[in-house]
Structure 1
Amino acid sequence: MKFSRTLPSPVIQQRTFKLTFGAALAISAMTALAPQAHAARVDRADETEFARGRILVEPREGLSADEFEKIVRGHGGRRRKLGQSNLHVVDLQGNEPDDDVVEKLRRNPHVKYAERDRRVKSTMAVNDPYIGSAWHLTNIGANTAWDSAMGAGVTIAILDSGVDPAHPDLKASLVPGYNSYNNNTDTADVCGHGTAVAGTAAAATNNGVGVAGVAGKARIMPIRIAFMDAATNSCYTYFSTVAAGLTWAADHGARVANVSFAGVAGSSAVQSAAQYMKNKGGLVFVSAGNAGRDEGYTPTTTLVAVSATDNTNTKTSWSSYGNFVSLSAPGSAIWAPVKGGSYSTWNGTSFASPVAAGVAALLMSARPLLTSTQVESMLFSTAVDRGAAGRDALYGYGRVDAARAMQKALGGAAPVADMTAPAVSISAPLANSTASGSVPVNINASDNVGVARVELKVNSTVVAIDSAAPFGFSWNSAGAYNGMNTLVATAYDAAGNVKASAPVSVNVANANTVVARDTTPPAVKIINPVPGMVAGTVTVSINASDNAGAAGISQTLYIDNVAVAQGKGNAMAYSWASSKAAAGLHTIKAVARDAAGNSATTWFQVTK
């Protein structure tokens, strides 16, 4: 039976916003940021758009916490880890210009990336003063898809200005969220933008009031990342608060996340956080922007960027575009909730993005065992092709089609199994080279679908795990004995296919430490995770040191008092599938023992 409903006449509130269509074009230089490869596009006149004295840095996996601390302190910085990820916010307290610090860190072979923390604006364009209609739902075939699923069992994280907790179309669907801007649990809407975005994705369906979201039975997790700039009456966020919000959402069970702010697709930190969520089975959708131009961002598989179409399935004049766009979706005259309890029509890629996000939630609801990569593939392959044949800069793979995507998801036959193993090799260091101290290890890894993670083994011990491209490590050779040591990189894809690289033998030549009578125990730290919530696949990283040298250390990792991994040297890593563990508290314990038999233990608990 087809789902249908008659929408009651809502209270329509006409609202005036400082950001008009013309203003959206005027601020285009401020609402777009290219990735590191396009740093030259950042105009110095936009200096006010950066958070002075605050940058975002991700060290290479395997770099010890102490060594990373030395790098950061060398530039007068203090670091803060974002959730269970490897992302760090660094507050600079020295006199060195922020740009100089970022450039020096980018050249450091033990740093994966560094970028300045930038302020970006919400991608809401203008507010129509007339009663709209839910044209976008029939346009994408949502009513047909609803015959099979409506989003039940799926949590959509709305990273925005908060959500009105009392709105009649949203309050029953809300689950606890997080405020990454103020680091608290206050998720009330400070701009009004987040309430409309949340309603576009998942306003309650069949509740007799208001409007219907694309995934009206999904849960809504409000993540407040934004603040109201009183001087401009505009809603802004920073890359750092987006990245923090995404890692929190991923660690707390969200499977879909939406970020309707311009420029985030050009941030390395946001892309890393999006990959973190994707590795846990989720998908991140972002708006393309409202500048009406090619933003020039590099295409990425970490997130889904969405441009806006109108009721003729044509890209709107104000929607940004570029090769980074993955999908298009309706974003013009979208009827959505207004903070305070009423409704109105909205325009902008801010609303195209949650339409696509809602469709992803429908597929996950219909087939919960689908992987994030499979859901993404179904969205792309069933989109209605627009513009040039195939993927193009205006529409990506095409306008999202919920009915066709659902038909593919429920086609009867299971998705074709991926039987192709990744390709992986170590490009540096070279075989038979001599190494000492911290050594950059560069990895080439590729897959027909995508590489989920790469593990670095030194003499059969997994010393580090990298879960996001470009893959690479920082190996402290002091954790190995002098002489020839063997390095192997092992790549995994999402389907569980595994391939190990050809081994590379390296001659380690470090100064030996001699201790006449060793009675000092080693020091051991669990670097990741930290106490708190965990979800999905968790990388457990351990660092150890000893007065007699790290080469003589042996380590054992216990989860709930069961030994799950053992290794030698100063570093060890383990990929823990927490999804297979029971809900509740779990104990993570690391034990390090030196060559003289001295031992040390550290432990804490996490919640799944």
Structure 2
Amino acid sequence: MLDVIYMKYIVVPHADLDIENESKKTMKKIHPIKSTLTAACFAIIAICLNSVVEAAPPAKNEVQLLVKPKVSMQEAALHALVSAQGGREQNRLAALDVRVIRVPAHASAKLMTALRRHKDIEYAEPDHLAKAVLSANDPNYTGGGQWSLAKIEAPAAWDTTVGASSVIVAVIDSGVSASHPDLSGKVLPGYDFFNGDADATDDNGHGTAVAGITAAATNNAIGMAGVSWNSMILPVKALGADGSGSYSAMANGITWATDKGARIINLSLGGTSSSRALQDAVNYAWRRNVILVAAAGNNGNSTLFYPAACNNVVAVSATDSADMRPTWSNFGSYVDVSAPGVGILTLSGASSYANWNGTSFSSPVASGVVALMTAANPSLSNVGVVDALLKNSDDIGSAGYDVYYGNGRVNARRAVAAVANVVPSDSTPPSVAFSSPANGAVVAGTVNVSVSSADNVGVTKVELYIGGILYGQSNTATATFSWDTTSYLDGSQTLEARAYDAANNVASRTITVNLKNASVADTIAPLAAITSPSNDTKLKGKIVKVNVTASDNVGVTKVELYIDGRLFGTSASATTSFSWNIGRVTAGAHTLQVYAFDAAGNIGSSNPVTVYK
């Protein structure tokens, strides 16, 4: 049977969930209130030694940076570095030789990282705004209806950042009602993996409630306040109107949201069955610097609940206003942090509000905190963000980590302060190398260019450049590119491989090959060998790894393994391994032999290897 995902609302006394019985919401219709605001004037005085520098504020889709080059920095080099990310010099603080740089928001993190690592840049920092201390004027915030915001010290965090529109939070749930007044202008085009169309409208209400907690429109004098005011919501519908859906829809949603630029993925849904596909989807997102946050479950026990129990997911349990665990909140060693989840006022229906209970509503509180953290420091990796979130939570319950509250109840003020001025801790670039062809090799025809890379955290992308032009890329650490050399002039050609990690560290390796398509025909056959098992080996176990290697003066296009004269397997890599299940292989002697092919059709074979079962 298909695993079914159940949405998590309040106390769940039965295994079979029923939304009608599951959620005891206290509905509270709230109308926008009229208020008369006294106009306030703020004088912002910019004082320099010799002059006052004035400039229009950056557009909403731009970020402004202050950059101080060293005297050794060439103007042309600085211009190239900035313009490569679509930035431009807007102004100068002449007395300080500080440049005011404007850059598209989506490129700000990459430019900041490049500037901070450049040997000729003294410093680069955000051009912070001078502003009054912020507090939301939404009725349910000022009226005390949102106790959770004060508990996590969100108002103090807002003095540093109220979030950024460049920080996209994907809500994988029952959809989102973009027409709700408190989500006006906050919801991006999404996708419905439940019905297979582009309409991610909520037909249940759960996803809208979750979205409101994280990023409801705030300081707009209506309704409620979200944790991260300016974050955008990417709706991904994986659940139907009855609140259930398949793991495949959830996994599809995770990978799609990642590819659409989500920085944070909130998962207020799940089931008690583990899944490799779900873990693979999580890993896909994690390797691309995405932070995944999930509800720990409402079953009131320690049964593992997925995706919260997946590796690389922040699992969130629930707390009440007294920092106590409600009896229905799941617990266990997979819980990372806790967050308010009792009586959480948020969106309901097309234009209403309601109080909700459940770890489903603890998770978006934590997601909102993470969104503030990434806005405060967009260059920080997901590893750095999660580490800071856990280390800067308020320790409640037993001292230190415990299975009920994890590392503690989230604290927005502490978490944002911890990352605001931190340079990414991962400064180790990946390693990258060419497996084939070899440096200096003579190549012709179609050649397989194989690249391998590794990183202390994880490789996010590998690129191949031919003659300085991007030829192809892959999201895997090891990749093979098929290169038709006949479309290039004969002679020397430069190949460059680049590998990137989530912290934007990059490594490159360059080799030179010689193209000879029009001159001398390649008549040299490849060399092939079986490196293990060795001749006369007595096989043990059920699975035997047959390791083979091949080489060629131009390049190996494929290798084939034959066992007892029959083709067993084929690989495009010159060095590879085949898994041979000998469970049903007859006792006695068996002959292994490998053949290697090149682009000219030359074939080389290994010495036969005899093994015994």
> TM-score with structure 2 length normalisation?
0.52
Q: Which moved more, 1:143-152 or 1:380-389?
A: 380-389
Q: Is the 8 A contact 2:384 2:425 kept in 1?
A: no
The 1:360/1:321 distance shift into structure 2, 3 A limit, reads: same
Q: Secondary structure at the match of 2:182?
A: coil
Residue aligning to 1:192 = 205
Residue segments in structure 1 that go unaligned for 5+ positions in a row: 1-17, 32-119, 230-234, 423-442, 456-461, 475-489, 511-549, 555-567, 573-591, 598-608
The partner residue of 2:195 within 161, 174, 182 is 182
**One-letter code aligned to 1:351:** F
1:253 aligns with 2:225: no
Q: Is the 8 A contact 2:429 2:500 kept in 1?
A: no
Q: Distance in 1 between matches of 2:313 and 2:499?
A: 21
Residue aligning to 2:423 = 414
Q: Distance in 2 between matches of 1:300 and 1:506?
A: 41
Q: Distance in 2 between matches of 1:360 and 1:345?
A: 23
Q: Is the 8 A contact 2:557 2:573 kept in 1?
A: no
What per-residue deviation string (whole Å, max 9, x for no partner) do you get for residues 277-334 of structure 1? 2222211111111000002369544211111111111221111111111111111100
**One-letter code aligned to 1:193:** H
What per-residue deviation string (whole Å, max 9, x for no partner) do you get for residues 233-268 of structure 1? xx1121100011111111111111111113278333
The partner residue of 2:304 within 272, 296, 311 is 296
**One-letter code aligned to 2:412:** A
What per-residue deviation string (whole Å, max 9, x for no partner) do you get for residues 157-189 of structure 1? 111111112100012111111111112111111
The 1:123/1:373 distance shift into structure 2, 3 A limit, reads: farther
Pairwise mapping of residues 336-355 of structure 1 onto structure 2 (< 5 A)? Answer: 336-355=346-365
Q: Is the 8 A contact 2:178 2:186 kept in 1?
A: no
Residue aligning to 1:89 = none
What per-residue deviation string (whole Å, max 9, x for no partner) do you get for residues 332-358 of structure 1? 100001112011100001100000001
Q: Secondary structure at the match of 2:265?
A: strand
Q: Is the 8 A contact 1:319 1:348 kept in 2?
A: yes
The partner residue of 1:263 within 264, 268, 271 is 271
The 1:187/1:454 distance shift into structure 2, 3 A limit, reads: closer
1:147 aligns with 2:159: yes
Larger Rg: 2
Q: Distance in 1 between matches of 2:8 and 2:499?
A: 47
1:168 aligns with 2:181: yes
The partner residue of 1:405 within 403, 407, 415 is 415
Q: Distance in 1 between matches of 2:240 and 2:320?
A: 29
**One-letter code aligned to 1:318:** W
**One-letter code aligned to 1:252:** K
Q: Secondary structure at the match of 1:357?
A: helix
Q: Distance in 2 between matches of 1:371 and 1:122?
A: 41
Q: Is the 8 A contact 1:128 1:344 kept in 2?
A: yes
Q: Is the 8 A contact 2:381 2:424 kept in 1?
A: no
Q: Is the 8 A contact 2:10 2:22 kept in 1?
A: no
Q: Which moved more, 1:413-422 or 1:371-380?
A: 413-422
Query: In the TM superposition, what is the alpha-carbon distance from 1:122 to its structure 2 partner?
Result: 12
The 1:20/1:208 distance shift into structure 2, 3 A limit, reads: closer
**One-letter code aligned to 1:160:** D
Residue aligning to 1:25 = 13
Q: Distance in 2 between matches of 1:318 and 1:211?
A: 26
1:274 aligns with 2:287: no
Residue aligning to 1:578 = none
Q: Is the 8 A contact 1:239 1:264 kept in 2?
A: no
The partner residue of 1:221 within 223, 234, 248 is 234
**One-letter code aligned to 1:191:** N
Residue aligning to 1:570 = 572
1:507 aligns with 2:530: yes
Residue aligning to 2:74 = none
The 1:214/1:321 distance shift into structure 2, 3 A limit, reads: same
Pairwise mapping of residues 133-532 of structure 1 onto structure 2 (< 5 A)? Answer: 133-153=145-165, 154-229=167-242, 235-263=243-271, 266-296=274-304, 300-410=310-420, 412-419=421-428, 450-452=457-459, 494-495=502-503, 496=505, 507=530
Residue aligning to 1:429 = none
Q: Is the 8 A contact 1:151 1:361 kept in 2?
A: yes
Residue aligning to 2:53 = none
Query: In the TM superposition, what is the alpha-carbon distance from 1:269 to its structure 2 partner?
Result: 2.1
What per-residue deviation string (whole Å, max 9, x for no partner) do you get for residues 439-491 of structure 1? xxxx9x995xx444699xxxxxx999757xxxx999xxxxxxxxxxxxxxx99
The 1:341/1:509 distance shift into structure 2, 3 A limit, reads: same
Q: Is the 8 A contact 2:148 2:344 kept in 1?
A: yes
Residue segments in structure 2 that go unaligned for 5+ positions in a row: 1-6, 30-143, 432-451, 463-471, 481-497, 510-527, 534-554, 560-569, 575-596, 603-613
Q: Secondary structure at the match of 2:294?
A: strand
Q: Is the 8 A contact 2:319 2:340 kept in 1?
A: yes
**One-letter code aligned to 1:127:** K
Pairwise mapping of residues 50-69 of structure 1 onto structure 2 (< 5 A)? Answer: none
The 1:324/1:407 distance shift into structure 2, 3 A limit, reads: same
Q: Is the 8 A contact 1:121 1:261 kept in 2?
A: no
Q: Distance in 1 between matches of 2:232 and 2:476?
A: 31
Q: Is the 8 A contact 1:264 1:270 kept in 2?
A: no
What per-residue deviation string (whole Å, max 9, x for no partner) do you get for residues 213-249 of structure 1? 11121111111111023xxxxx112110001111111
Q: Distance in 1 between matches of 2:416 and 2:26?
A: 32
Q: Secondary structure at the match of 1:138?
A: helix
The partner residue of 1:594 within 587, 596, 599 is 599
**One-letter code aligned to 2:300:** G
Greater relative contact order (CA < 8 Å, ≥ 6 in sequence): 1
Q: Distance in 2 between matches of 1:224 and 1:415?
A: 33
Query: In the TM superposition, what is the alpha-carbon distance from 1:388 to its structure 2 partner?
Result: 3.3
Q: Is the 8 A contact 1:20 1:125 kept in 2?
A: yes
Identical pairs, percent: 35
